[in-house]
Amino acid sequence: MRISVIGLGYVGSVSAACLAARGHEVVGVDVSPVKVELIGRGQAPVVEERIGELTAEVVASGALRATVDLASAIRATDVSLVCVGTPSAPSGSLSTEYLERVSAEIGEALAGLDRWHTVVFRSTMLPGTCESLLVPLLEKASGRSAGVDFGVAYNPEFLREGSSVKDFLDPPKTVIGEYDKVSGDVVAALYEGLPGEVFRVPVPVAEMAKYADNSFHGLKIAFANEMGAICRALGVDSHRMMDVFLADRKLNISPAYLRPGFAFGGSCLPKDLRGLVYAARRADIAVPLLSHVLPSNEEHLKRALDLVIGTGKRKVGLFGLSFKPGTDDLRESPLVELAERLVGKGYELRIYDANVALSRLMGANREYIDRHLPHLGELLCDSADDVLDFAEVCVVGFADPALSPVLDRAGDRPIIDLVRLPDAETRRAHPGYVGLGW
């Protein structure tokens, strides 16, 4: 199948490379010439496990190319996957600015086609957005009717940054919100042969399914972290307690995310929780639990800050900056927030994260860090050893076994563990070691 993927961020880059690897002819589209040039050189615009090698392979084979010309990509393909961002507005509402702009451009391109083309939205959006906002934009710009002259579908992604290639090829499920049956058939064909149950549902059901997933993931993390904080205060080993809790696979659902650690972040969970709470508030529906998930997450971040302040040290070494291991995504990373607050309070800070290089940050990722840590280049170090040499207190934000030998040389310096290191049990004997929730 001939496919255009519009928006070459994390979801778009992975979708384009994986679909190309599955034998499709793929054209990536982005307004950023830098991203397009990277694809042209066989390089991925994002840091993800396996994405670099996969991108190089499919570009070399001719299965994937990229362009800034959306109209030409539409003309050259039969189906378009729209993967542009839907960031939070200041009020917490969902911003559909990019979706609206792209929909109008796609509609203009459809006006010149004499064949069927299916537009598939993958961007996270609240129920009703596709049918009430985007479809009318497509129809107005094209002068044609959705479901009659061209197809529309909503196909949410369930990709975790850091393991998104694996998740694409081994999905937990495939959800197809079909505006019309023909478009549903087209989307189903894209994923034919992949594992996981396929759900073909109305578009609003598919839109809401994404929010249900992300809200529940955020809820699970906040729950585990609150339990960890209480357990620590009462002298209970939270991880041994959670082993008991997780043994119940019938009622307690899944161990995913249910380990006390640091606050959650990233480009999905905070944004989608804000968006859902905002939508509920507008509908005059009280959601006290969901309304307090982000405040709970904020309290957990404050606990980490208090631990650093409690050491009385002023030179802080931070190991990790992205919102989770295996990615360079800094958007709404709790470690970025922690770093920003430390700098704001006058602490001297040095940071090491093997996946984060200032020269590679671009798009929304670069814009976010420019707003929150504009002097990041002065704070980043080339190695964990450089951070250790500077630090009076070490703050560990990622669980990497390779970090243990470095921390072993910390001597009597305090070590604040935000993620429970693999050798946390052994480190308990160190008088300066303290776990955030265990």
Dist. CA 86–CA 97, nearest whole Å: 8
In this predicted structure, what is the pLDDT of residue 258? 61
Residues 6+ apart with CB under 8 A from 190: 1, 3, 19, 24, 79
Intra-chain end-to-end CA distance of the chain, in Å: 51
Amino acid in position 128? G
* Residue that is written with structure tokens 């094209």 in the block: 142
Which strands form 64-67's sheet, in the order they lie side by side? 64-67, 25-29, 2-6, 79-82, 118-121, 151-154, 173-178, 197-201
pTM, full prediction: 0.80
Amino acid in position 428? R
Q: Is 392 exposed, middle or buried (0-12, 13-18, 19+ CB in 10 A)?
A: middle
The structure tokens listed for 41 are 């050189």
* Residue that is written with structure tokens 């430390």 in the block: 342
Mind listing the pLDDT tens digit of every residue in the chain (438 residues)?
A: 999 999 999 999 999 999 999 999 999 999 999 999 999 999 999 988 899 999 999 999 999 999 999 999 999 999 999 999 998 888 888 899 999 999 999 999 999 899 999 999 999 999 999 999 999 999 999 999 999 999 999 999 999 888 899 999 999 999 999 999 999 999 999 999 999 999 999 999 999 999 989 988 888 888 788 888 888 888 889 999 889 988 888 766 666 776 788 888 888 889 888 987 888 888 888 888 788 989 999 999 999 999 999 999 999 999 999 988 888 899 999 999 999 999 999 999 999 999 998 888 898 889 989 999 999 999 999 999 999 999 999 999 998 888 999 999 999 999 999 999 999 889 988 889 999 988
Active site residues: 268
Q: What is the largest CA-CA distance in the chain?
A: 73
Q: Where are the alpha helices (DSSP H) in 257-333?
A: 269-282, 288-291, 293-311
Q: Where are the alpha helices (DSSP H) in 41-179?
A: 51-61, 70-76, 97-110, 129, 135-142, 164-169
The structure tokens listed for 199 are 């759900």
